[in-house]
Amino acid sequence: MSPAGPAPAPGGIVQAGAAAAERQRNDLSADDLKRVRQVTAPADDFSKAEPFELMQAGAATVKPLINADIFSLPSATLTFEGRQRFQMGNSLFRKDWVSSPSSTQASDGLGPLFNARSCQACHVKDGRGTVPGFDPMERTDAVALLMRLAVPARDADDQRRIDTGELLFLTDPVYGSQLQNFSVAGLPTEGRLEIEYEPITVKLNGGETATLMKPTYRIENLGYGPMHPQVQFSPRLAQPMIGLGLLEAVHEADILANAATEKRDGIRGKANWVIDARTGKPALGRFNWKASQPTVAQQSAVAFSNDMGLSTPMFPSHYGECTEKQPECFKLPHGAQPHLGEHEVPGELMDLVADYSTNLAVPQRRDVDDARVLAGKKLFYEANCVACHVPKYVTRRDAERPEHRFQLIWPYTDLLLHDMGDGLADGVSEGQASGREWRTAPLWGIGLTKTVNPNATWLHDGRARTLLEAILWHGGQAQAARDRVVGMTPDERADLVRFLESL
């Protein structure tokens, strides 16, 4: 089953999005709107830090000790009661689920097919996941690196279902929307992901070189027969969890204004309109690598269903990703308990997980006044990285959660889709996202990535071992910006990386 909402948009999801694109910010007074436009204007003075730049999540920013738990702290704007719910959600996020039947009836129902036993297993300490390893001798089973499976539309009816938002994409008829490399006792796993890397040398100005690692994927030990002959693979690495609630509170008019404007180098982002499973109505996609989920709650529910095989009110199947071609799946017991509710993860627990996931704090910036960091920031602007990595927003005054309202934030993303070229293309369309398009990843916290997870790497499949490698993989709309980085002097590239590491 493809993770899509229950009600399609009969006139077409794109048409519904086009109508929504006319909306303006109605949460601000005229004076507030003028003030917001002033504070979110692009920087033009790189001799010093901008006002409030240190607090990159506004009042929600935390100033903790820099250690491996730096991404696991509650937002500074939470009330005492909010912190209590945050801690309860944290326990659910970290909890290992077990298969049924079990004596721990509030924790069973895992699978029958799954990728991980807990949310934390993929989002290591609420940060990026870990790829199986670049050295064949260090390979481990892929947990945080999921493999999306998709097939092309077979006919006009398939395409209609995608165009109306009924489906995000067509799944493999046997293996579903993603490969599950684990299973409960007595049931075959779907297969094992294998990765081979080819080194590619890139010459840089100043006599330097960089080595990129180009991955090739294959799946071995298929447990349920062959896949569709036209199946397409799209590896997806677990992303950091910080600041998600603030991104959800960015007004869609501000996001769509970026989509309506063609920027330098001919760059223009594209919205991915999807169906909100709670309302059945079209909504702006903001989360996931291809902006295919509209809310943190829906993204979380999809993960419970697809990654762990657990039912929720939003996705009520007790069998997760099991398909009709895997009949043995449906003969196994599930974990729903009559005295606890009809779902393995009841609505109250899902609400706690959402409270946790939307309130993981963004850490304070570092070295914002450092001369080399400021020089790198100027280079970031001059290279036109800001065309996609839009620095700042002011969140809605009427955001659903009070702790996210009217905050000046610095996430460095436009939350839109961009063509990233052949080098990063996966061939998989997801909603309106093509096989060459990816959502602009937020950059806040990126400099603390390896503090949280020393084995973490970057990009959608973790192929980039350094921030410079991640930049060098950029193509498509970002090709000109990437080429400007290649043309920088070694000292300039070092300053650019210093700026990124300060975020």
Q: Among 387, 449, 499, 475, which Cα is nearest to 239's? A: 449
β strands within 30-152, DSSP E: 113-114, 145-150
C-alpha 430/C-alpha 416 separation (Å) is: 13
Q: What is the mean pLDDT of residues 284-288?
A: 96
pTM for the complete prediction?
0.95
**Residue at 5 is within a domain:** no
Lowest mean pLDDT among 263-267, 279-283, 301-305: 279-283
Output the average pLDDT for the chain. Answer: 93
Residue 6 resides in a domain: no
Residue 235 confidence (pLDDT): 96
Residue among 341, 302, 335 nearest 146 (CA): 302
What is the pLDDT, as a whole number, of residue 103? 82
Average pLDDT over residues 452-479: 97
Number of C-alpha atoms within 13 angstroms, CB side, residue 27? Answer: 16
Tell me: pLDDT of 135 over 80: no
pLDDT given at position 14? 73
| Residue 501 pLDDT greater than 80, yes or no | yes
Residue 358: inside a domain: yes
Q: What is the mean pLDDT of residues 189-200?
A: 94
Calpha distance 252→236 (Å, rounded): 25
Please report whether residue 136 resides in a domain. Answer: yes
Q: Which residue has the tokens 């959660």?
A: 401
| pLDDT higher than threshold 80 for residue 106 | yes
Question: Coil, helix or strand for 63?
Answer: coil
Query: Could you tell me the pLDDT band of residue 21, with boundaries at 50, 70 and 90?
Result: low
Q: List all residues 6 or more positions away from 124 whose beta carbon is below 8 Å from its beta carbon.
A: 130, 144, 238, 452, 453, 456
Is 50 exceeded by the pLDDT of residue 2?
A: no
377 pLDDT more than 70: yes
> Alpha helices, DSSP H only, in 330-385?
347-357, 371-382
CA 162 to chain centre: 21
Question: How many CB atoms sit inside 10 A of residue 91's CB?
Answer: 11
In a domain, 278, yes or no: yes
The answer on pLDDT for 329 being more than 90 is yes
What whole-number percentage of the chain has pLDDT above 70?
95
Distances (CA, A) of 422 to 128, 437, 454: 24, 10, 29
Whether 380 shows a pLDDT value over 50: the answer reads yes
For residue 6, name the pLDDT band (cuts at 50, 70, 90). very low
* CA distance readout (Å), 394 to 38, 432, 497: 11, 27, 26
Say whether pLDDT at 396 is over 70: yes
Determine contact, residues 256/25, Cβ cutoff 8 Å.
no
- State the CB neighbour count (10 A cutoff) for residue 317: 16
Provide the domain count of the chain.
Answer: 1
Distance CA 44, CA 378 (A): 9
- For 339, the token pair is 């005295």
Rounded (to 5) percent helix, strand, coil in the chain: 30, 15, 55
pLDDT over 90 for what percent of the chain?
86
Q: pLDDT tens-digit profile of 408-453? A: 999 999 999 999 999 999 999 999 999 999 999 999 999 999 999 9
What local confidence, expressed as pLDDT, does residue 132 receive? 80
Q: Is residue 1 part of a domain?
A: no
Q: Which tokens is 403 given?
A: 């702790």
Using alpha carbons only, give the angle 384, 385, 390 rounded to the nearest 5 degrees: 110
Is 320 in contact with 183 (CB distance < 8 Å)? no
pLDDT digits (tens, 9 = 90+) for 205-215: 999 999 999 99
Residue 357's domain spans which residues?
Answer: 12-502
Q: What angle do CA 77, 256, 149 make, to 5 degrees?
A: 90
Q: Between vectors from CA 337 to CA 335 and to CA 338, what angle results, nearest 5°?
A: 150
Is residue 4 in a domain?
no
Longest dimension (CA), the chain: 68
Is residue 201 domain-resident? Answer: yes
At residue 403 the predicted structure's pLDDT band, cuts being 50, 70 and 90, is very high
Q: Are the CB atoms for 169 and 274 separated by under 8 Å?
A: no
What pLDDT digit, counting tens, does each position of 211-240 carry? 999 999 999 999 999 999 999 999 999 999
